[in-house]
Structure 1
Amino acid sequence: MDGSTAKTVHDIFQSMEYGPAATSSTATAQAWLDNHSRSLGLFVDGKCIRPADRQSRSLADSKGGNLCSTVCAVEDDVSQCASSAVKGHKAWGDLSCHQRAKVLLRSASALGQHGTCVSELCELCEVSCSPSSLIRLLQYYSSWAQLRDALVPDWTPLGVVAVVTSDDCSLYSLMLKVLPALAMGNSVIVVPGRSRAPPTLLLAQLFTGAGLPAGALNVLTGSDMSLCARVAQNANIGYVAYSGNKQDGVLLCKSTAGMGIPVSVSPNIGARCPFIIFESADIDSAVDAVIEAAFKKKREVHWVLCVQESVVDSVVARLGLRMAGMKCVALHSDGDRGLVDAAVRDAQQQGATLIQSCAAPSSGAQYPPTVLCGAAPSSPFVVNPSPGPLLPLMTFRSNTEAVVLGNHSPHGQAASIWTEDLTLALETAKSLSVGSVWVNSHSVSDPCLPVSGHKDSGTCTDGGQEGLYQFLRPSSSSSPLPRSSPVSMDYSKFGTAASIPAIIPDDSNPASAPKVYLQFVGGKPCKSVSGCSVAVQSPGGASVLAYCPDGGRKDVRNAVEAAVKVQPSWMKKSPSARAQSLYSLSKGLEAKRRDIAGSINVQTGLSMDEADKEVELSIARLSDWAAYCDKVQGGSPALPQSGSALSLPGALGVVGVVLPDESPLLSMVTLLGAAIGNGNAVVMVPSEKYPLPALALIQVLQSSDLPAGLVNIITGSRDQLTVALATHSVIKAIWYWGSAEGCQYLQYTCTSPLKTLRLSCQKEDGGKDWTWSHPSLLEEMWRSAVQWKSVWIPTA
């Protein structure tokens, strides 16, 4: 055609210039908003409602225009929603497993039909979303709804579950909490972040239209995190699951402390994740992947590039080539620009060199992709990454250094490893303390794989069968924490006053003096650092039976140091080797049964027959845990995409255990066996009232083949030692049986760093019955001592 200006295919390939950007339509989402008059209400009892006299907040779209408004719920709305959720739970629970599965499958079909509307609405709200991934979630959890009674028969739903997210949480992360809760028969109240409210309301409308009973899924919107505390405070709520940034998660934990409601936290936004390139990697593929992960995808995590020294020059050269011509990346807000500029200046002052795709504009909420070469692990811009498109680059020499760099972070969400050596990849994956490891890939996920929060990245497990148990409880047990109102207390003064006065034992007449016991730290009996002791009274309080050490913060420090030294090697032992050690401990207890039964008799006032029965149950319980050691294993689940994946169970690390007064020996060996059977080390605080059975067990521990430092026993004031455990940064989990004030203190304090808590309020009427042997109760205890890791291995 003469005079035509259209370019031929040959011309386009010669110039390789950008074509016109594809315009995306949002007409379907706009029509849905118009249908609601761009004024979104609450979703309660299966319908959208907009109560009168409520404040509202405007929500801007991705271009800064007014998109819609959302209602700020008040106390009356929370009460109405909770009542609706209780009715919805009954209606949802009355359905058979097959009927619930059919509803979830119909919801997947409805989402497929209206996927365009969901995608467009998420685009307008700047929410990360893929309808296909949500459909996969629905299909996966519909199968679990079908099989619940067959595969988890001795467990029951919690009732009403509250799912809370921050304003930067993805829709996938939200649904990863909502759908397993629904599949197990719970009803759900969702409190989304402000910009997440429109797509969440749309999904609730779609699910209800697919047959979900009214009240089974409710959505409350508000102005800030105070709404979450009001929802948790409602007596009908049985569990709170949070997903989002850590700041809001910490605020939620502190605001709900003392309410008697369990809260799980998954801070999956803003984590620092290592991207490790070994010399055996396909460098071109690795560089392409790191650019996509760090600069092109929506940044929910901060990547740190770790490159082996032998290939760092090649990687830097390829980064420069790939980044040439890349456009500036939009920042979240104008205020982020100052943080990015400060981080770059700080990096240059510390000797880092920059690789930038173009010159940074003088101002504005945008910045070019930037690699900071020569970063040090302790640099502020590495430890506390800025919100912009900055990628620190560090080097390592050996595989061991790569693991050290990868673990040099308070977060443990994920890591990406690049190497063609499969043995190296698997060894590195097992050594990294993260929930997901991607080999020659990144940012892959599927709900069939369980992923636990490691370190500051969470206190629960999501995905797979393991992720279901946070929304279930054993049918034969009740909630360990009674619902209550928080106690007014000064957290800085908790545990500062000893409940039993410490004394220095009088050794002037050794023949008549009560026996002086030692505590057990680092595999050796020893005195407390303070040198003081506390008196152990007879059951009636008429006489002093013995003196035991009055341990404190320094004793906990010494015990944790000993535990940290031995725990990694203990965890690497095979499950069968750990089982044999537990069997050996059981035999040692059998050999000392009369002496230990005597200590129970003297200390607690039980008859010799009752004391002997407790010893017998303790011996059997240790054998139970030994048998469990090689029965709970990971696997390789089938994936919908090509490739393979491994699901690996692992230890928590060092666990602090504060023991109850009930059944002092049986409770101790129950918690001890579950912890060390999974590869953990323990620091145990015996019953303050009945410490002698635990101290008598020290002789058995000394003669066993358990490594020194694996089990540490410290006696003294329960509250003082609880404070020492809670404030120690190395302890990963605390299992606590004690006062309501102690439970509240731990919920408030154990947020930075995050600790996995298992809390039980000790009751005056006898408390927990430790003689149980129901399989689901043993399974619950065992699962609380495990965390899970997924390893992704792509194949052609």
Structure 2
Amino acid sequence: MAGSATKTVYEIFQSMEHGPAAASSTAVAQAWLDHHSRSLGLFIDGKFERPADRQSHSLSDSKGTVVCHTTIAAEDDISQCASSSVNGYKAWSSLTCFQRAKVLLRMVSVLGQHGQCVSELCEMCEASCSSSSLVRLLQFYSSWAQLRDTLITSWTPLGVVEVVTSDDCSLYSLMLKVLPALAMGNSVIVVPGRSAAPPALLLAQLFTTAGLPAGALNVLTGSDITLSAKVAQNPNVSYITYSGNKEDGVTLCKNTAGLGVPVSVSPCIGATCPFIVFESADIDSAVDEVIEAAFKKKKEVHWVLCVQESVVDSVMDRLKLRMAGMKCVSLLSDEHRTLVDAAVQEAQQQGATLIQSSAAPPSGAQYPPTVLCNAAPSSPCVRTPSPGPLLPLMTFRSNTEAVTLGNHSPHGQAASIWTEDLTLALETANGLSVGSVWVNSHSVSDPCLPSSGHKDSGTCTDGGQEGLYQFLRPSSSTSRPRSSHVSMDYSKFGTAASPAVIPNESDPSSAPPVYQQFVGGKACKSVSGSSVAVQSPGGDRVLAYCPDGGRKDVRNAVEAAIKVQPGWMKKSPTGRAPSLYSLAKGLESKKQDVAKAVSLQTGLSAEESGKEVELSIARLNVWAAYCDKIRGGSLPMPSSGSALSFPEALGVVGVVLPDKNPLLSMVTLLGAAIATGNAVVMVPSQKYPLPALAFVQVLQSSDLPAGLVNIISGDGDQMTAALANHSVIKAIWYWGSAEGCQYLQHTCTNPLKTLRLFCQKDGGGMDWTQPEPSFLEEMWRNAVQWKSVWIPTA
């Protein structure tokens, strides 16, 4: 038409207005809360309990309106809950797999009737969980409840499991722990954070309606994380698993140290995750998704944008265009605004430039979405980001640099990779030390995806079949006895001086032999040059002198291990197997010498010592065969695309060896660690060190890379303290004193270490000679961490 101005498609879209948003209704949830008089009690033994004399805590929504009040549990409530859980476990575990699966599937129908109430309550409490995601969880774990005895043979439930979450944790993260525990036949005590408490209580009521036996699922609420430690003190609790922020997880570990109950931690809140954009990516899609992840969704993690240099200008132009006109994001408090201002100011001082949707208001608990371009990797906004809508942007040149930037964070929760080159995507995913990798997508969650917390992001695996094993134990093993917290000065643990070695005035020709330790592929003395005397079983004579290792020996061993471990991990499993077969063959060639050391040290007969050596040779051959049987593969995701899972090595593992079967236990743990790609620093039994030190001559003649296996003798407590305080060591397997177990659980929290703790006074908790498959499978599973990769196709 003459005189009319032609508009571009972009201008037309820019001029369009959004229709009015549908009003959010919470009428059903409000009615449920009103039915409970806005004061929720505890859920114990299949019903709500409201003791009259209990204190309560008020829960408010984002606008400051009080939603409801929750009861603060007292000691009597904890005792009643534990007794109920024991009875609930007996009733629940006595059902057949089919019967347990039927109850969980019936819960899907119950959610169909009451899903709106659950969703509305989650929205009011900001616990973020849709009824559809709960249905998916129930369907997945009900099928595993049905197949437990078919596909997971020779394993049995733990008993009473305590599931703990922090105040800022979502209901989904809570149920990702509760449902697999129930599916495997355990009873569960839930200690939810404040936001998840009301929906957790509602779900417990609905589970009872679906036919869950009374006591199989109890819910205790409190004012803070200290309630979980009080629950853990009850001797009926067999296992504690935690999700939420790291600070509360560390508090839980410290408060439960010395109780003799295993604790796993999944810090799913506050991790820093890389969003990596290559030049081969669909830039428009990548920019849209990073804005959605960083600014529009509830941020449980902090994203760091890493862009290839060749496309950084294009990415920044699109960011400016997409962010124009975006509204300010509300912060929780004025204190958070102060933290955001300080982070932005410091980043600018280090050379960063800003892309903002609008100017920041001079004051108030609001801040505009902000990209900090050219942020320094060492900047606090990258390593320890403040709360708020901040997105650091860094650049890289090559794939190697991208992986280095992605691994710069102390966390290892997840990463998002954007590229149309599948080979590049998989190569980058393989190099990143994270539990979940999303290709051309982000924040994809499904219960079939197993994910381990790498580095400082957790000590257990959640999701998939692999996540079920934290709630099971081998049927051949016995429950570990509980212990009591010991009052101890952690700063003095392992500082006692070693006993003095008095020179022997006897004939030099009959002097006891002097053994050496093994560090970096070489037999050597300790750094201090000191030795300790090894007594005979009767204590009447000195059998030998062993090096008295210390902190510097551990440091040297870890340095040697960390140099060789990445190359050993990258070696194919079929490439690692021949080295283990060769090690077994080397032990066979030194059979008589090693058997003599076993007999001399332990007092066993020559026949019994020879049998232990034979079992050790066989065990090494078993681990060699395990190398190329590492499991993993594709996963059945409900949406289109491909999902892969595969096990990875932990890294450097510290092992304090048990007294029982000193040679067989050593090769069992050694084989499990190196067969899966780890390097080890081993501390022989202080009581029986000679078999491990005699094994050094076998290692010297092997073709294992120098530094892969290190053996350091000395005082057990001193070695334990040195391992615990070394930041590179990812896991510690410990057999020792109750004080040592307590020290490790209290100390190994920064960074988090995966712990397997056994007290020597109860025999170490396992029979090293048993041939059951689940025995070795447990060893293998404790030596790996899992990674999942999601590749959408549509």
Which category describes the TM-score, using the shorter chain as reference length? over 0.9
Aligned position for 2:712: 714
Q: How is 1:312-391 mapped onto 2 (pairs within 5 angstroms)? A: 312-391=312-391
Aligned position for 2:487: 488
Aligned position for 1:584: 582
Partner-residue secondary structure (3-state), 2:321: helix
Aligned position for 1:19: 19
Q: Assess if the C-alpha contact under 8 Å between 1:62 and 1:123 holds in 2.
A: no
**Selected match of 1:679 from 668, 677, 698:** 677
Aligned position for 1:730: 728
Take 2:278 and 2:538, find their aligned partners in 1: how far apart are those partners?
Answer: 67
The Cα of 1:507 is off from its aligned counterpart by: 11
Aligned position for 2:515: 517
Change (3 A) 1:765 1:69: closer
Structure 2 unpaired stretches of 5+: 1-9
Q: Assess if the C-alpha contact under 8 Å between 2:477 and 2:766 holds in 1.
A: no
Q: Assess if the C-alpha contact under 8 Å between 2:164 and 2:243 holds in 1.
A: yes
The Cα of 1:510 is off from its aligned counterpart by: 5.0
Aligned position for 2:656: 658
- 1:402-445 CA distances to partner (integer Å, 9 max, x unpaired)? 11110011100000001111111101101100000001000001
Pair 1:128 & 2:120 matched:
no
- 1:583-634 CA distances to partner (integer Å, 9 max, x unpaired)? 1111111111111101111111110001000001101111111111112321
Q: Assess if the C-alpha contact under 8 Å between 2:169 and 2:195 holds in 1.
A: no
Q: TM-score, normalised by structure 2?
A: 0.97
The Cα of 1:189 is off from its aligned counterpart by: 0.6
Q: Quick check: 784-793 or 376-385, which moved more? A: 376-385
Q: Assess if the C-alpha contact under 8 Å between 2:279 and 2:310 holds in 1.
A: yes
Aligned position for 1:251: 251
Take 1:147 and 1:575, find their aligned partners in 2: how far apart are those partners?
Answer: 30
Take 1:409 and 1:731, find their aligned partners in 2: how far apart are those partners?
Answer: 17
Q: Assess if the C-alpha contact under 8 Å between 1:504 and 1:533 holds in 2.
A: no
Aligned position for 2:744: 746
Q: Quick check: 141-150 or 577-586, which moved more? A: 577-586
Q: Assess if the C-alpha contact under 8 Å between 2:686 and 2:716 holds in 1.
A: yes
Partner-residue secondary structure (3-state), 1:528: coil
**Selected match of 2:686 from 678, 688, 695:** 688
Q: Give, as a single letter, the amino acid of the residue that structure 1 aligns with 2:499.
A: P
The Cα of 1:772 is off from its aligned counterpart by: 1.1
Q: Assess if the C-alpha contact under 8 Å between 2:735 and 2:764 holds in 1.
A: no
Aligned position for 1:86: 86
- 1:20-68 CA distances to partner (integer Å, 9 max, x unpaired)? 3321111111111111111100111111111110001111123211211
The Cα of 1:581 is off from its aligned counterpart by: 1.1
Aligned position for 1:792: 790
The Cα of 1:511 is off from its aligned counterpart by: 2.8
Aligned position for 1:69: 69
Q: How is 1:173-192 mapped onto 2 (pairs within 5 angstroms)? A: 173-192=173-192
Aligned position for 2:637: 639
The Cα of 1:320 is off from its aligned counterpart by: 0.4
Aligned position for 1:438: 438
The Cα of 1:773 is off from its aligned counterpart by: 1.1
The Cα of 1:532 is off from its aligned counterpart by: 0.5
Take 2:720 and 2:247, find their aligned partners in 1: how far apart are those partners?
Answer: 24
Pair 1:265 & 2:268 matched:
no
Take 1:473 and 1:791, find their aligned partners in 2: how far apart are those partners?
Answer: 28
Take 1:658 and 1:396, find their aligned partners in 2: how far apart are those partners?
Answer: 41
Aligned position for 2:623: 625
The Cα of 1:129 is off from its aligned counterpart by: 1.2
Change (3 A) 1:751 1:35: same
Take 1:107 and 1:227, find their aligned partners in 2: how far apart are those partners?
Answer: 29
Pair 1:778 & 2:761 matched:
no
**Selected match of 1:501 from 499, 502, 505:** 499
What is the total number of aligned residue pairs between the two structures? 786
Q: Assess if the C-alpha contact under 8 Å between 1:505 and 1:547 holds in 2.
A: no
Take 2:414 and 2:29, find their aligned partners in 1: how far apart are those partners?
Answer: 34
Q: Quick check: 586-595 or 629-638, which moved more? A: 629-638
Take 1:436 and 1:167, find their aligned partners in 2: how far apart are those partners?
Answer: 24
Aligned position for 1:57: 57
Q: Give, as a single letter, the amino acid of the residue that structure 1 aligns with 2:554.
A: V
Q: Assess if the C-alpha contact under 8 Å between 1:636 and 1:647 holds in 2.
A: yes
Pair 1:172 & 2:172 matched:
yes
Take 1:588 and 1:229, find their aligned partners in 2: how far apart are those partners?
Answer: 49
Take 1:277 and 1:130, find their aligned partners in 2: how far apart are those partners?
Answer: 30
Aligned position for 1:758: 756
Take 2:80 and 2:659, find their aligned partners in 1: how far apart are those partners?
Answer: 41
Q: Assess if the C-alpha contact under 8 Å between 1:58 and 1:67 holds in 2.
A: yes
- 1:724-762 CA distances to partner (integer Å, 9 max, x unpaired)? 000000000000000000000000000110000011100
Take 2:560 and 2:776, find their aligned partners in 1: how far apart are those partners?
Answer: 28
Q: Assess if the C-alpha contact under 8 Å between 1:652 and 1:787 holds in 2.
A: yes
Q: Assess if the C-alpha contact under 8 Å between 1:502 and 1:532 holds in 2.
A: no
Take 1:429 and 1:493, find their aligned partners in 2: how far apart are those partners?
Answer: 43
Q: TM-score, normalised by structure 1?
A: 0.97
Take 2:98 and 2:500, find their aligned partners in 1: how far apart are those partners?
Answer: 62
Partner-residue secondary structure (3-state), 2:646: strand
Change (3 A) 1:787 1:502: farther
Q: Give, as a single letter, the amino acid of the residue that structure 2 aligns with 1:147.
A: L
The Cα of 1:506 is off from its aligned counterpart by: 7.5
Take 1:14 and 1:650, find their aligned partners in 2: how far apart are those partners?
Answer: 48
Percent sequence identity over matched residues? Answer: 81
Aligned position for 1:289: 289
Aligned position for 1:701: 699
Take 2:292 and 2:556, find their aligned partners in 1: how far apart are those partners?
Answer: 46
Take 2:330 and 2:109, find their aligned partners in 1: how far apart are those partners?
Answer: 35
Q: Assess if the C-alpha contact under 8 Å between 1:42 and 1:50 holds in 2.
A: yes
Aligned position for 1:605: 603
Change (3 A) 1:716 1:475: same
Q: Give, as a single letter, the amino acid of the residue that structure 2 aligns with 1:325.
A: G
Aligned position for 1:104: 104
- 1:475-533 CA distances to partner (integer Å, 9 max, x unpaired)? 111134x21210000000000004x4154877997533221111100000111110111
The Cα of 1:279 is off from its aligned counterpart by: 0.9
RMSD: 1.6
Q: Assess if the C-alpha contact under 8 Å between 2:191 and 2:219 holds in 1.
A: yes
Q: How is 1:5-16 mapped onto 2 (pairs within 5 angstroms)? A: 15-16=15-16
- 1:439-476 CA distances to partner (integer Å, 9 max, x unpaired)? 10000011112111111111000111110010001111
Aligned position for 1:394: 394
The Cα of 1:115 is off from its aligned counterpart by: 1.5
Aligned position for 1:4: none
Take 1:223 and 1:463, find their aligned partners in 2: how far apart are those partners?
Answer: 29
Q: Assess if the C-alpha contact under 8 Å between 2:656 and 2:736 holds in 1.
A: yes
Take 1:249 and 1:370, find their aligned partners in 2: how far apart are those partners?
Answer: 30
Take 1:13 and 1:372, find their aligned partners in 2: how far apart are those partners?
Answer: 28
Change (3 A) 1:764 1:129: closer
Q: Give, as a single letter, the amino acid of the residue that structure 2 aligns with 1:706.
A: L
- 1:637-675 CA distances to partner (integer Å, 9 max, x unpaired)? 111001101101100000000001111100100100000
Aligned position for 1:158: 158
Partner-residue secondary structure (3-state), 2:139: helix
The Cα of 1:94 is off from its aligned counterpart by: 1.7
Q: Give, as a single letter, the amino acid of the residue that structure 1 aligns with 2:279.
A: E
The Cα of 1:334 is off from its aligned counterpart by: 2.7
Change (3 A) 1:564 1:34: same
The Cα of 1:70 is off from its aligned counterpart by: 0.6
Aligned position for 1:3: none
Partner-residue secondary structure (3-state), 1:577: helix
Take 1:507 and 1:556, find their aligned partners in 2: how far apart are those partners?
Answer: 33
Take 1:316 and 1:184, find their aligned partners in 2: how far apart are those partners?
Answer: 49
Take 1:507 and 1:249, find their aligned partners in 2: how far apart are those partners?
Answer: 56
The Cα of 1:13 is off from its aligned counterpart by: 5.8
Q: Quick check: 285-294 or 577-586, which moved more? A: 577-586
Aligned position for 2:565: 567
Q: Assess if the C-alpha contact under 8 Å between 1:507 and 1:513 holds in 2.
A: no
Q: Give, as a single letter, the amino acid of the residue that structure 1 aligns with 2:614.
A: E
- 1:316-353 CA distances to partner (integer Å, 9 max, x unpaired)? 11100000010111112232111111111111111110
